[in-house]
């Protein structure tokens, strides 16, 4: 096996480890913060679901090349793709390990995009960069958290008014909790069709996946709650219901995360594998299963060994979470991501989830939000692409000089 390919595989595995260590908070941070599960349980669930999503549903083409950030027609030498893949992986991984160490939830997708832009600028200047596409990425920094916050704000208010604010929360929960649970699974079923099966027809996803799954869960929830729901404290009883639902919704987000974000690690591996074996024409070749498995394994190990750092920030440091609040965040994030995916908007799961957490905090009053933590997170978002681009540019230049 080519030495350059071995190096790329090693760096890709490290990148996957960083994705697991940082992005796990997207799916499990709220469940841990609301004490639905422990950090160790979160690591096991997220590890298994991310690996499953990566191996069985991982995207089959080189994402970092297909995103359109660079005009690949301007690259004539296959070794440039190899050097660029290495530089992008190294730059993204260095930034992610810094962010994870400081408990900052940043976008792994934006980290890789920054790395790709960096080596592209060094190789061919500004002409090679698709600035319109990059502008969409920058716009997503603003839109993702805003949409997440708005939807979570109103979802939590609706849950609060339909259940928690009623004179008899137990009676209200018996009717409304199954509705909210079923509605969440309408979104989950539709998201499975859109994000995992890569369907493009939203109406088909809702009618044939979302509604059947949601209605089934509604019936099951209604039956179980009517039969077993006899708590002494009505509010604790309501939280107990949503605790179980939140575990399932968090597990689904982990599955979807593995199926999509694994490409941020294995995409550069696949690019190097393709050009080293088939030249520039091989860049659209499907990713071999062993590469997807490698990425899934790296994500899982990252979750087990270091995922608790960012989980702590998302789940506990921004605002205090309960199970109803955590459910509202998962439901809102899933809805926003679904709509954005359907519209083709470049949106970050990390940014949506953090925005949703902020929205829940705002529903309780501005004082419920840790402003200093939020400020640090937002700053880290805006410097992600420039920092990774700069690091990648330096590394790529070193490769060119050494080569």
Helices (H), 192-283: 202-205, 211-228, 234-261, 263-278
Q: Residue 24's closest CA among 56, 49, 57? A: 49
Buried b (16+ CB within 10 A) or exposed e, 355-365: bbbbbbbbbee
Sequence-ordered list of residues with C-beta below 8 angstroms from that of 308, at least 6 positions apart, any chain = 39, 43
Instruction: Compute the chain's Rg from CA coordinates.
Output: 21
227-to-185, 197, 216, 224, 232 alpha-carbon distances in Å: 21, 36, 17, 5, 15
| CA–CA dist 32, 381 (Å, integer) | 23
Which structure tokens are listed for 279? 């030249």
pLDDT along the chain (403 residues), means of 10: 79 87 74 81 83 69 53 83 89 91 83 91 93 82 88 91 84 84 87 78 91 93 72 75 81 73 74 71 64 84 80 71 85 81 70 87 78 85 93 95 81
59-to-52, 53, 56, 89, 105 alpha-carbon distances in Å: 13, 10, 9, 18, 23
Burial of 312 (0-12, 13-18, 19+ CB in 10 A): middle
DSSP 374-400: HHHHHHHHHHHHHHHHHHHHHHHHHHH
| CA–CA dist 55, 287 (Å, integer) | 11
Contact between residue 112 and residue 88 where contact means Cβ atoms under 8 Å apart: yes
DSSP 286: P
Give the pLDDT of residue 60. Answer: 43
Other C-beta atoms within 10 Å of 386: how many? 12
Q: How many residues does the chain have?
A: 403
- HSE-up (13 A, CA, CB side) for residue 76: 1
Beta bridge partners of 70: 129
User: Can you tell me which residue has the tokens 């089934």?
Assistant: 216
Which structure tokens are listed for 173? 């929960």
Give the pLDDT of residue 127. Answer: 93
Phi/psi at 129 (nearest 5 deg)?
Answer: -85, 135
């Amino acid at each position: 096996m080519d030495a350059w390919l071995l190096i790329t595989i090693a760096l890709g595995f490290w990148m996957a480890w960083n994705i697991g260590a940082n992005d796990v908070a997207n799916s499990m941070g709220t469940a841990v913060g609301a004490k639905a599960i422990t950090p160790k349980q979160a690591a096991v669930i997220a590890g298994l679901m991310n690996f499953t999503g990566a191996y069985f549903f991982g995207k089959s083409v080189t994402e970092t090349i297909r995103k359109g950030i660079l005009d690949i027609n301007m690259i004539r030498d296959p070794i440039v793709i190899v050097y660029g893949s290495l530089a992008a992986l190294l730059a993204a991984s260095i930034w992610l390990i810094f962010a994870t160490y400081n408990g900052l939830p940043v976008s792994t997708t934006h980290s890789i995009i920054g790395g790709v832009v960096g080596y592209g600028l060094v190789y061919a200047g500004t002409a090679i960069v698709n600035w319109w596409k990059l502008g969409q990425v920058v716009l997503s920094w603003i839109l993702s958290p805003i949409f997440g916050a708005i939807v979570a704000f109103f979802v939590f208010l609706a849950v609060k008014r339909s259940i928690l604010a009623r004179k008899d929360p137990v009676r209200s929960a018996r009717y409304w909790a199954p509705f909210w649970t079923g509605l969440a699974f309408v979104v989950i079923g539709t998201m499975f069709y859109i994000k995992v099966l890569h369907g493009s027809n939203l109406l088909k996803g809702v009618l044939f996946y979302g509604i059947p799954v949601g209605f089934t869960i509604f019936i099951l929830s209604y039956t179980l709650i009517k039969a077993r729901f006899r708590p002494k404290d009505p509010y604790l009883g309501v939280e107990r219901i949503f605790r179980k639902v939140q575990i399932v919704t968090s597990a689904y987000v982990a599955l979807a995360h593995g199926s999509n974000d694994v490409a941020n690690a294995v995409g550069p591996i696949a690019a190097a594998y393709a050009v080293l074996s088939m030249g520039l024409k091989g860049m659209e070749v499907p990713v071999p299963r062993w590469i997807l498995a490698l990425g899934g394994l790296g994500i899982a190990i990252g979750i087990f060994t270091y995922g608790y750092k960012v989980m702590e920030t998302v789940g506990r440091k921004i605002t205090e979470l309960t199970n109803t609040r955590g459910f509202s965040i998962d439901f809102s994030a899933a809805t926003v991501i679904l709509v954005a995916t359907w519209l083709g908007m470049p949106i970050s799961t990390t940014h949506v989830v953090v925005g949703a957490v902020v929205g829940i905090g705002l529903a309780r009053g501005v004082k419920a939000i840790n402003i200093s933590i939020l400020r640090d997170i937002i700053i880290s978002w805006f410097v992600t692409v420039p920092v990774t681009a700069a690091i990648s540019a330096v590394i790529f230049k070193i490769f060119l000089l050494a080569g």
